[in-house]
Chains A and B, each alone.
Chain A
Amino acid sequence: MTAVLTRRPVESVTGWVAARVLLACAIALAAAAATTLLDERRAIGGLTACALVCAVAGFALRRRCVVPVTLRPAGTHAAVLIGWLLLIGVSTATYRVCGTFDGVRDALFESTAGFTTTALSVLEPVEGTPKGVLLWRASTQWLGGFAAVMVVVAMLPLLGVGGIEADSAGADKRNRLKSPLIAATTRRLARAYLFLSASGVGLFLLAGMGPFDAVTYAMTTISSGGFGNHDGSIAYFDSAVVEWCTIGGMALAGANLALLMAAVRGRLVRVMRSTELRAYAFAVAVASIVLTWSTAPEGGVTAQSARHAAFAATSAMSTTGHTVGGWAEWGHGPLVLLILLAGVGAMSGAPGGGFRVVRALTLLGVVRREIVRQLHPRSVMVVKIGKAAVDERVVSHMIGYQVAWLVLAGLGAVLLGATGLVFTEALTAAVSALATYGPALGDLRDGTAALSDTALLVLLPLMLAGRLEISPVVIGAAALFRGRPKRRSR
């Protein structure tokens, strides 16, 4: 109270995060509002109003709040969670103000799917929606992909959690985004992300897309989001070049941002040394080959079937969720493989989601150690990724993460089953949402039409937990419910 009266800045990580969130939304909304000028000014009022509100609130908060000198784990997690809920809230309000959805529930779902970069949409039909709203819809994914990287790469490691830095064999230390200052790290990350997005726009323009489609599809591809401006996703373009460009974009969305920047700067040898990158590339390549082989049409592999197989593999592994169709004729094996790929997911520090390659590698190391230990019970062994030893703390953190992941997937599947989905649909929908992928098997192959209203609500926390790597959601929620921790005097 005294702080308010004296108008001194308040030390609040929540306020700091909220200010950034609101300002980012304001910029994106302003861009969306500007786009309406190309589109008969449809929805210009709603977008402008939302942009203004966000800008005012954001600037106000920015003036009032500074980052505390020391970050407390529980408080920071809560701040991340609040920031994310704020993003979703702003977006829900925007959809409602613009009249895009009739009910709050659909707007909330679309917003959550957007910011968690999940390719699940309840916008039906997509075509005919004002362009401004479509741009905002793509922006939610674009912002969400970036914010997720920031949380995992910039904020959590400061607290000594996350364990994502296990793959230290790759790029040299200077290229790893571990600056102690969040702001500096954010700037570096943002530069990398903008660069990638701009290249994506360029590629799509060259492939023959219109400027608006190029921008929006680049946004939803580089962020591993998967929303499209057309009902058939990428299949709408019916163009091999566009599909190959999307495959490239999705592959980048699943790769570590810091490594990508190092590669751009010409440190290719160092980048190639990253075990995680190698494993990621290997998995995508092998999956593409297996899918090409197992989904070949009657007369043998065609250029189109091979391309569609590679597309599906990349889309799943990077958890993007763009589709090009052709799934209807696929057998059970390829489809289950896709869900497995999405479950493993992208590299650490990438906009893509999922369990992440580095964790999968660590767990394989644990398995290997246990097998050897059976024969040599007294041996002392470290888990390695490539040649680098993984710290035991990090190993045990990843194992905790695996259990949490399995429990969430199981709980989600049971709840989805209770809403009337059959076994296959419930299980794959839960895994897919947790991996922020989108498509699931059974009747859920082609979108959300088969999901009941309750099922949509069950998916919300799953997507959010998957996107935020679980711990901010659990710890943050616990901290919020427990109330503000007492400050220790220093």
Chain B
Amino acid sequence: MTDLRARPRTLVRRDHRPASASANIVGLALLFTAAGMAVCAVLARATDDDGWGPLTGSAAGAAVLGAALWRGTRMPARVSTASAFSAVGWTWIAISVAGALPFWWSGMLPALDDAVFESISGFTGTGATVLTPIEGRGRGLLMWRQMTQWYGGMGVIVLAVAVLPLLGVGGFELLRAESPGPTSDRLAPRVSETAKRLWLVYLGISVLITGALVAAGMSLYDAAAHAMTTVSTGGLSPYDRSIATFDSLPIELVLVASMLVGAISFALWWQVAVGRGRRALGQSSELRTFLALFAGAVAVVTVVLATDGAAVASALRGAAFTVAATISTTGFATDDFGVWPAAAQLVLVGLMVSGGMAGSTSGAVKLFRVEVMAADALRELKRVSQPRAVLPLKLGGQVVPEDIVSRIVGFFVLYVVLAIVGTVMLAGFGADLATAAGSIISAIGNVGPGLGETGPVFTYLALDRPSRAIVAIYMLLGRLELFTLLLMFAAPYRALRLRRYRE
């Protein structure tokens, strides 16, 4: 006989693990990193290079630590904005260190700080390097170097949210703290579904680019390696002379197109994938601006190079590739723009600041913000002659709400202030203005090569250690859209609380 009044056995077991968003996400991200390193270890084993041991060891270490952190903690039911910043910030620091282990362990970069620099440059999709010479290292290690960029391009947090629907509640906050762009486009009502779709598109485009590169004449290894750093607009290459190694017009054409693809919003590519492409692409004013800016910059740079004495055809080829590599913040190189005339260099610096579209893998300010800033400045000019006019800010026929304008303005001003501060710091450590400004703008925009002594044919070893540390921090700042890194320690910091503003 059963006692009907007995309490039914609860199906939900209480979870006594400590709740920590940071530890949980860090653990998960380390597991992903370990998986990538394991793949590269297999490649290293297959090609008989010496990177096998360090890669396997690092993968094992990251996996154990990751599993312990992930299984040992639980995700809190709610993730506040401040703790989302903290979780994302710690995740990026953790994967940067974990990703650096194989470089350091294998002796590829004997100094730990250099290995971390290379790893940060990889994950942030920057493509600045301190490795010289690049060729002659194990294929597995070099592939891991490429793969860091591929992970970082769409973002490990997005991957985590995509893989684990459990993160649904706090997922949006986390996504917001990592995703590139002023507005987080929701492709689906569920955040995890959005993240899944983004990664699917990302994966699909990576495969397409690999295929196109093979068709253009690359080996499968080279094609995969370059596809990973193209779709993520990263720009690392396993060759010292970057794309100039191949000296092939078809490869350059494929890469120009692929870099532009990477700099276009992945939300748009999802629409294309599901067959709503024509309408979505046609409606995007940002896309039109992007293509117009690309074409205009190519024209200007070609003219500058041609007046400088280059043949028009080679000027056009060099200009198209370099402009695409810069506006998409990829940073591949076929020409040494360090020796180009200053006018062309300044145009490139402008592109390094603007970057590609919001919601793409490209870094920097993003065109949407640039458009809003430009429209805002024009509106101010109009206000001078019509002081009382009410002028809503319109882009592509749509009114941009004032609070978004105000946030974009805040971001832009912070970006400029940080770039200036960084330039002065680097100059203080002894770099000349071109090197200092070029390195900082390139780092915060996640481009890669800078100007002067850190130009495309040089490495960041030209800077001294403190300067390299500053550059590495700027790469992270830029990739995480400034605020995440600035505010990752803010959660317990009471001074920033609103209390002070209540009067």
User: Is A399 in contact with B380, judged by CB distance below 8 angstroms?
Assistant: yes
- Which residue of chain B has its CB nearest to the CB of A415? B343
Tell me the residues in window 400-419 of chain B with beta carbons closer than 8 Å to chain A beta carbons.
Answer: 407, 409-411, 413-414, 416-417
Interchain nearest-CB distance for A136 vs B (Å): 34
- Render A402-439 as a binary contact track against B, CB cut-off 8 A, 1 for contact: 11101100100111111011111111100000000000
Check if A211 is an interface residue, CB within 8 A of chain B: no
Closest to A337 in B: B424
Of the candidate stretches B151-159, B224-232, B371-379, the one touching chain A is B371-379
Q: Which residues of A contact B82 (CB under 8 A)?
A: 375
The reply to whether the CB of A374 lies closer than 8 angstroms to some CB of chain B is yes
Q: Is the CB of B383 within 8 A of A381?
A: no
In the complex, the answer to whether B430 meets A363 with C-beta atoms within 8 Å is: no
Q: Are B451 and A407 in contact (CB under 8 A)?
A: no
Chain A binder among B16-24, B60-68, B482-490? B482-490
Interface stretch among B89-97, B183-191, B266-274, B344-352? B344-352
Q: In whole angstroms, what is the CA distance A335 to B432 when docked?
A: 9
In the complex, which residues of chain A have a beta carbon less than 8 angstroms from the beta carbon of B497? 376
Q: Taking the complex as formed, is B200 at the interface, i.e. its CB lies under 8 A from any CB of chain A?
A: no
- B251 contact set on A, CB distance < 8 A: none
From known contacts A400-B379, A402-B413, A404-B381, infer whether A379 and B498 are also in contact, taking CB-CB under 8 Å: yes
B160 located at the interface, meaning its Cβ lies under 8 Å from any Cβ of chain A in the complex: no
Asked whether B429 is an interface residue with its Cβ less than 8 Å from the other chain, the reply is yes
Instruction: Assess A413 versus B346: contact at CB under 8 Å? Given A399-B380, A423-B434.
Output: yes
Q: From B380, B386, B434, give the contact of A396 (CB < 8 A).
A: B380
A375 touches B81 (CB 8 A): yes
- The answer to whether B414 touches A73 (Cβ under 8 A) is no
Q: Is A454 an interface residue (CB 8 A)?
A: no
- Whether A366 sits at the interface, judged by CB under 8 Å, is yes
Number of B interface residues in the complex (CB < 8 A): 56
Secondary structure of the B contact surface, majority rule: helix
- Asked if B420 and A333 sit within 8 Å, CB to CB, the answer is no
Kindly state whether residue A304 has any CB partner on chain B within 8 Å.
no
User: Most chain-B Cβ atoms within 10 A of its Cβ — which of A333, A363, A415?
Assistant: A333
B476 within 8 A of partner (CB) = no
- Smallest Cβ distance from A434 to chain B, in angstroms? 15
Chain B residue nearest to A412 (CB atoms) is B346
Cβ of B341 within 8 Å of any chain A Cβ, yes or no, is yes
Most buried by A among B417, B428, B430, B451: B428
The answer, yes or no, to whether B452 is at the interface (CB within 8 Å) is yes
B interface with A by C-beta (< 8 Å): 81-82, 85, 304, 341-347, 350, 373-374, 376-377, 379-381, 383-387, 407, 409-411, 413-414, 416-417, 420, 423-424, 427-434, 436-438, 451-452, 483, 486-487, 490, 496-498, 501
29 CB < 8 A contacts A-B: A73-B385, A73-B386, A77-B385, A160-B387, A161-B383, A333-B429, A336-B423, A336-B428, A336-B436, A367-B413, A369-B410, A370-B414, A371-B483, A371-B487, A373-B410, A375-B490, A376-B498, A396-B409, A399-B380, A400-B381, A401-B380, A403-B373, A403-B374, A404-B380, A407-B377, A414-B343, A426-B342, A427-B433, A474-B381
